Amino acid sequence: MAENVMAIESVPRVKGATDNRQHERAGKYLTFFLAGEEYGLEILKVQEIIGMMGVTPVPRTPKFIRGVINLRGKVIPIIELRTKFEMDTVEYTDETCIIVVQTHGLQMGIIVDKVSEVMDIPAGDIEDSPSFGDEVRTDYILGIGKSEDRVKILLDIDKVLSNQELQDLQRTGSV
């Protein structure tokens, strides 16, 4: 299968006052869709976007770890973000792609329904994530970005996976 690769340029993040979390979150985000909802990742965490390719399953890994791919000679684990977020699975389309990110010194890919755009979100357009009570874990949500009449859930990719899940990923043979 031919590899469809789009490199992402590193774009400096707007620096804010360190005591003001809202300013620290301002910057450029790669936005993408999952189940019709728009999400964003800090562009500095994104290494590249590739088209879907064959993923080799790894036995005895959590269900959301789809497997591994060989990306230009490097084996990287692939996360099915829909499964991780307990969403219904769907058939892949021509728009389904893998966003390759760097987190905790680990390179991994996340499967998304489609990539939208790179956008600058100013501090004034980012709200804290809402509280859903102690039973619902939301620490992986960096904030809620507002753009026109839509909202985007801004993910902290460093917190999407727990420490145990990161250890499971490292055992896939990618590190």
Which pLDDT band, with edges at 50, 70 and 90, does 13 fall under? very low
Which pLDDT band, with edges at 50, 70 and 90, does 16 fall under? very low
Average pLDDT over residues 62-82: 93
CATH number at residue 113: 2.40.50.180
Contact 158, 104 (CB under 8 A): yes
Question: pLDDT tens across 100-125, in order?
Answer: 999 888 899 999 999 999 999 988 88
Residue 39 has pLDDT above 70, yes or no: yes
The number of domains in the chain is 1
What was the pLDDT predicted at 148? 78
Structure tokens at 145: 């970005």
What was the pLDDT predicted at 112? 97
What was the pLDDT predicted at 147? 81
Between the ranges 3-17, 18-32, 104-118, 144-158, where is the mean pLDDT highest? 104-118
Average pLDDT over residues 56-75: 93
For residue 27, the enclosing domain spans 5-174
Question: pLDDT tens across 82-94, in order?
Answer: 999 999 999 999 9
**What percent of the chain stands above pLDDT 70?**
75
What is the identity of the amino acid at 162?
Answer: S
The whole-model pTM stands at: 0.79
